[in-house]
Amino acid sequence: MLILVTEYLFKFLVIGSAGTGKSSLLNNFIGNKFKEDRCHTIGVEFGSKIVNIGGKSTKLQIWDTAGQERFRSVTRSYYRGAAGALLVYDITSRDSFNTLSNWLRDARTLASPNIIILLVGNKKDMEESREVTFTEASQFAQENELMFLETSAKTGENVEEAFLKCSKTILAKIETGELDPERIGSGIQYGTGTSKRLSAPKKPARMTPECACRV
């Protein structure tokens, strides 16, 4: 029987302008195939994955939000209490890069101020139509204290790394005490990965030794 024990659960956001490939990134990460003609997201789509970071298994609850401007007011209401976020732009679209600071401001003010954000330049595979250079973007990232990666949801390059890098930073901050998982709204829960059904049979086995040393 598969027993999933996770130590932490993080709330994760994927934000950025429409058409930058947020849903594709998520889908690639959780193991779905890349679809060339994806329709835009309405509302929020969830994904979750258990990753192993430095020996600690951590579950990510990923909120893939709609990028379209007209849904902006609603999607903003989901920012609160997120522990981490991928801020996505499209390297072939200058516009998507230009709006980054708006997204960033929203995330910093609406989600927790300690939110860990990783800047993602997606569609790395379309080098021929690149509009935003790597240097330019990494400079933006540096100025705004973001981590930065260029990814391709199509080839899968750096996709997992992006999520892992962000999670790693969150975990490091928990360990140094900078983030307090027990603070309400931190976007972090202690291990819950196991569902009730999975863990129930474990009960007798672990209770006996514990009572023996107590009585």
Closest Cα partner for 25 from 147, 114, 122, 149? 122
Quote the least distance from Cβ 34 to other proteins, whole Å.
Answer: 15
Chain positions contacting other proteins, by CB under 8 A = 3-7, 9, 11, 39-40, 42-46, 48, 61, 66, 70-71, 73-75, 77-81, 182-185, 187, 189-196, 199-200, 202-204, 206-208, 210-211, 213-215
Quote the least distance from Cβ 87 to other proteins, whole Å.
Answer: 19
Quote the least distance from Cβ 214 to other proteins, whole Å.
Answer: 6
**What is the Cα–Cα distance from 194 to 65, expressed in whole angstroms?**
26
**What is the Cα–Cα distance from 192 to 4, expressed in whole angstroms?**
9
Question: Which tokens is 215 given?
Answer: 């009585």
Measured from the CB atom, the residue of 75 and 151 that comes closer to other proteins is: 75
CB 66 within 8 A of CB 44: yes
Measured from the CB atom, the residue of 5 and 161 that comes closer to other proteins is: 5
DSSP class of residue 80?
T
Quote the least distance from Cβ 83 to other proteins, whole Å.
Answer: 10
Quote the least distance from Cβ 181 to other proteins, whole Å.
Answer: 9
| CB neighbour list of residue 25: distance below 8 Å, 6 or more residues apart | 14, 86, 88, 120, 122, 151, 153, 159, 162
Quote the least distance from Cβ 175 to other proteins, whole Å.
Answer: 13
Measured from the CB atom, the residue of 16 and 187 that comes closer to other proteins is: 187
Measured from the CB atom, the residue of 1 and 184 that comes closer to other proteins is: 184
Q: What SS3 state is found at 155?
A: coil
| CB neighbour list of residue 148: distance below 8 Å, 6 or more residues apart | 118, 119, 120, 121, 137, 138, 141, 142
Measured from the CB atom, the residue of 1 and 213 that comes closer to other proteins is: 213
